[in-house]
Chains A and B, each alone.
Chain A
Amino acid sequence: QSVLTQPPSVSGAPGQRVTISCTGRSSNIGAGYDVHWYQQLPGTAPKLLIYGNSNRPSGVPDRFSGSKSGTSASLAISGLQAEDEADYYCQSYDSSLSGSVFGGGTKLTVL
């Protein structure tokens, strides 16, 4: 069982907007540690999508956005495209574990 909780799956039609939640606790997200999001296409390494809660690395479309509040964070994807179909993971730091923690991953299906 993952320290950060994500829904196993979400889906949406092309052009729609979807959100993926990531729930933590007082020793990680709630303690103020940043949340990062990754996109993983089949057979490839995870790719950094959002860092520092809401920042996009160079090259990531502005259709992807992140936010954080309290012990939770969210990834929003607007204008869904077929190429967005992938697994998405959130990640943060946990002070009680003295290390990184990940969400269990969310599979996005574009209908």
Chain B
Amino acid sequence: QLQLQESGPGLVKPSETLSLTCTVSGGSMSSSSYFWGWIRQPPGKGLEWIGSIYYRGSTYYSPSLKSRVSISGDTSKNQFSLKLSSVTAADTAVYYCARQSSSYTSGYFWGQGNLVTVSS
């Protein structure tokens, strides 16, 4: 049974880098059938796609965040990570890791989410 679990600090200072890791269990990141992605949701607002990584390491980022985002993967640990630099209060959100089929024909399977607050 697939499970995704986010981990990382719940509080980040302005101008610093937000770092989160998603651990995958019950499935393999080495499969060519899936993208592994990050999605965020500011308090009281809607969902925003941040970016995704494919099993071969190809990455895809939201144009609005591209200059500050980096997603990497470690198939040996079955983990993938998010780094978002130069954060501000506007980056305060619940960050979800999620899996979607590489053909875009299935919806996302989600982790439980990790609230990250940007504050000094």
Q: CB distance A48 to B46 under 8 Å?
A: no
| C-alpha gap A78/B63 in the complex (Å) | 38
| C-alpha gap A104/B42 in the complex (Å) | 12
Q: Does B74 contact A (CB under 8 A)?
A: no
Task: Give per-residue flags for A84-111: 1 if the beta carbon is below 8 A from chain B beta carbons, else 0.
Answer: 0000010111000111111111000000
Known: A48-B108, A51-B105, A51-B107. Is A100-B46 also a contact (CB below 8 A)? no
Q: CB distance B107 to A36 under 8 Å?
A: yes
Q: CB distance A36 to B62 under 8 Å?
A: no
| C-alpha gap A92/B49 in the complex (Å) | 11
Our pick among B49, B63, B107, B111 for the contact of A38 (Cβ within 8 Å) is: B107
Closest to A57 in B: B107
- Chain A positions within 8 Å of B109 at CB level: 48
Q: Give 7 closest A-B pairs by Cβ, nearest first.
A: A36-B107, A100-B49, A51-B107, A48-B107, A93-B104, A102-B47, A105-B46
- Chain B positions within 8 Å of A104 at CB level: 46
20 contacts between A and B (CB under 8 A): A34-B105, A38-B107, A45-B110, A46-B47, A46-B110, A51-B105, A52-B105, A89-B47, A93-B104, A99-B51, A99-B52, A99-B60, A99-B61, A100-B37, A100-B52, A100-B100, A102-B46, A102-B47, A103-B46, A105-B47
Interface size in chain B (residues, C-beta < 8 A): 24
- Chain B positions within 8 Å of A102 at CB level: 46-49
Which B59-106 residues have a C-beta within 8 angstroms of A? Answer: 60-63, 96, 100, 104-106
Residues of chain B at the chain A interface (Cβ within 8 Å): 37, 39, 46-49, 51-52, 60-63, 96, 100, 104-113
Q: Does A58 contact B (CB under 8 A)?
A: no
Our pick among B37, B49, B61, B106 for the contact of A36 (Cβ within 8 Å) is: B106
A108 to B: closest C-beta gap in Å: 15
- Chain A positions within 8 Å of B48 at CB level: 102
Q: CB distance B62 to A99 under 8 Å?
A: yes
Known: A104-B46, A105-B47. Is A34-B63 also a contact (CB below 8 A)? no
- Chain A positions within 8 Å of B106 at CB level: 36, 51-52
Q: Does A64 contact B (CB under 8 A)?
A: no
